Each structure stands twice: as structure tokens, then as C-alpha cells.
Structure 1
């Protein structure tokens, strides 16, 4: 476990602005390389070349491309959490449809920037124990967030809000990932509307 953890972690955390900028260049370059070449052909040499640094400099920050891909996935998860937090800061939406739309739109926006990179991250990123724990916490936070909203909202009719929250989180994450990352493009506004309508009908159904 220890060797696996070291293999998938950055080698050093930048303390100076210049070092942080170099790490950002590596991550940005890696995102482009993985998108263009895929994971198998997205070598550290190609990443270093795209970042305009030596391969030795890259290895000062990351031991291999697995660690780079894991960090890209972690940042993707963190962006999703931040997006939900920004929505909370604006205050709770009014209708249940607005509650669901905020959640769905946040998920779509977090997945829509680079669907090809998203496919690589989700399907090929190594699953370290630390990363699996982070994904689990990420899901638990979303379930808790939606359950609290469902418990308080007068339009919600489902009896088991815990199960409803888990279903909503799983449905949105899986469907958004699959359709946004699919090779054939989908009409985003129509997709958002249909997913919001489906979840809203489920949550407000009686009997």
C-alpha cells in the first residue's frame, strides 16, 4: 500500500510561486496530451514537451503519468464540490425544480469543459486507496446535501429521503458522465431539461 501511495502522489508540493506555476503548466499540458493522444500514448515525454520543460523537471514534481492523471481527477472532484458550494452561497432556490436544476447544472458544467479528458480520467485513472476515499467522501457530501434539501422542501413526496438522495446523486453522476463524455455530442440544454424533469417527477410523485 505504501509503495502504491507513493507511486500515485506528487513528489513535492510547491512552496514558491514559480514552482506552483510549473506544476500548473505540467497539469495543463497533461490535460491536452491525454485528450489528444489518449492515456496509453500520453507519455511523460510528450507532457514535458508540451509543458516546455525537461523530463527531469517533470519528474521532480510527479513520479509518473499515473500520478499526474490522479491529480487531474482530484482537481475535477474538488471543482465539483466548489461549484456546489457557490450555489449554496447564493441561497436556497425556491421551487423543487430549481433545487434539482442547480444540482444538475453544476454537474454538467463540471463535466462539460473537456469530455475527452473526462473519459480518460474516469475510465483509466489508477484507483489508489486515497483517491477511492476522496470519491467516497465526495459522494457522501452530495447525498447529505440533497437529503437535507429534500427533508426541508414541501414539494418532496418521497418517503425515504436518504434513498432518494442517493438515487439522485448516482443518477446525475452516471448519466452526466456517460452522455457528456460520449463520442456523439448531446444537446446540453435539452439534456438538462429532461434530466431535471425526470428527477422532479420522481421526487414529487405520490403513491
Structure 2
């Protein structure tokens, strides 16, 4: 393990319920502290004070605030988004697309300031970077299979389309849902689903089903 990766490793994995509760309290407190004060001012002393534990107790679990933020980032990335399965090939495409968009929105439901801090400033170990890459490959592969076999899809380069949709949904939702003045989730869902449906099917379907007026004009 590289020295910089070791710095991000938690020191102690709880073996008892009380220890696990303490660790969870530290992480919950850290999320609030980072969101309120930012990363630079989100010190371990402030985290310990908010968690109502001694600074020594905090250091039993995490060697520094980098390791705390890395753990928060790992937990944020763990659920990931919906991965299309074989059963989705017979479902209406708009329903599958909506599920992907809704899952991404749910995944970004945390405090926007904390989310932005975790993704833009969060330290990443090699193991975490590899985990992110593996999850992305799995999602893109499953989406590729879906697009290649779904009867409503007309886009020709489904391999590239799968990569674009996976990255595009993540970037768009992150930029707009985690912005200082985020868009309403319902509006973002409706327009993002409509955009993806036009790209994949060329029909101009909106999230609610009927053709978009602009599409009918053509």
C-alpha cells in the first residue's frame, strides 16, 4: 500500500455495537461539520466536539480528517445507480430511463455543500479509484447490453451511447442537483428523461409519454 493510501485508511474497525455506534456518530458529525464549515475549517477538533467524543476517541477510529472524508466518500459511492438487467429489455424504455435518472437523483440527495466537497475535494486512495472504475465498467456494460437489445432504441453506436448516458447522467445531476442553487428534482427528472428519450429513440417523447411540441413541429 502506498503511504498516501495508508493515510486514508481507518485505524479501527468496530467489533462491538457500542464501538460501531461511536464510529457512526463521528461520521455523522463530520458530515455536518464539513457541510457547515468546509473542508479546510472542518477540523478533527470540531468533528469530535460535534460527535461528543474526545479527540483521542476520534483518533482511535480515524488517523486524520482525510480518512474521515474518504470514508464518507466511499459510503456515498457505495449504492451507485440502478444497473439495467435482462428484465428491462421488455419494459417500456421510458420507464427504464426514468429509473436510472431517479436513482441518480436519489444518490445526490445529500446536502449539496457536502456532496460538492466530497466529490471535488475528497481524497481518493488507489483502492477507491479502482472501485469507482469497476462500478462504472459494470454499469456501462449492462447499459450497453440493454441498448443493443431493446426494440425502441434506434441509436447506432450503442457502445458509445451507453458510456455517454452513464457519464452524462452523473455529471448533469451532480452539477445541477448539487449546485448552490439546485434545480427542483422533479423538473430535472422530467427534462433529463425527455432528453435521453429523444437521443435514444428520436421520437421526442417526454417523461410523461406524449411527443414534445418541438418534436411535432419537425
* Shorter-chain TM-score above 0.5: yes
For structure 2, the 5+ residue unaligned runs are: 204-218
Residue 196 of structure 2 corresponds to residue 199 of structure 1 = yes
Cα distance in 2 for residues equivalent to 1:48 and 1:144:
42
Task: Spell out the pairing of 1:113-192 with structure 2 (5 A cutoff).
Answer: 113-192=110-189
**Paired residues, what number?**
202
Which residue pairs with 1:37 in the alignment?
37
Query: Which structure has the larger Rg?
Result: 2
Secondary structure of the equivalent of 2:152?
Answer: coil
- Structure 1 residues 1-35: Cα deviation after superposition (integer angstroms, max 9, x where no partner): 52111101101211111111111111100000001
Shift of 1:135: 1.4
Which has a greater percent of helix? 1
Secondary structure of the equivalent of 1:126?
Answer: coil
Cα distance in 2 for residues equivalent to 1:191 and 1:136:
26
Cα distance in 2 for residues equivalent to 1:144 and 1:17:
39
Cα distance in 2 for residues equivalent to 1:15 and 1:149:
42
Shift of 1:114: 1.6
Which residue pairs with 2:101 in the alignment?
104
Which residue pairs with 1:52 in the alignment?
52
Q: Which has the higher contact order (CA 8 A, sep 6+)?
A: 1
Which residue pairs with 1:69 in the alignment?
69
Cα distance in 1 for residues equivalent to 2:202 and 2:182:
31
Cα distance in 1 for residues equivalent to 2:118 and 2:164:
23
Is the 1:48–1:55 Cα contact (8 Å) retained in structure 2? Answer: yes
RMSD across aligned C-alpha pairs, in angstroms? 1.8
Cα distance in 1 for residues equivalent to 2:19 and 2:149:
46
For structure 1, the 5+ residue unaligned runs are: none
Shift of 1:113: 2.6
Which residue pairs with 2:209 in the alignment?
none
Is the 1:48–1:54 Cα contact (8 Å) retained in structure 2? Answer: yes
Deviates more, 1:137-146 or 1:31-40: 137-146
Which residue pairs with 1:4 in the alignment?
4
Q: TM-score, normalised by structure 2?
A: 0.87
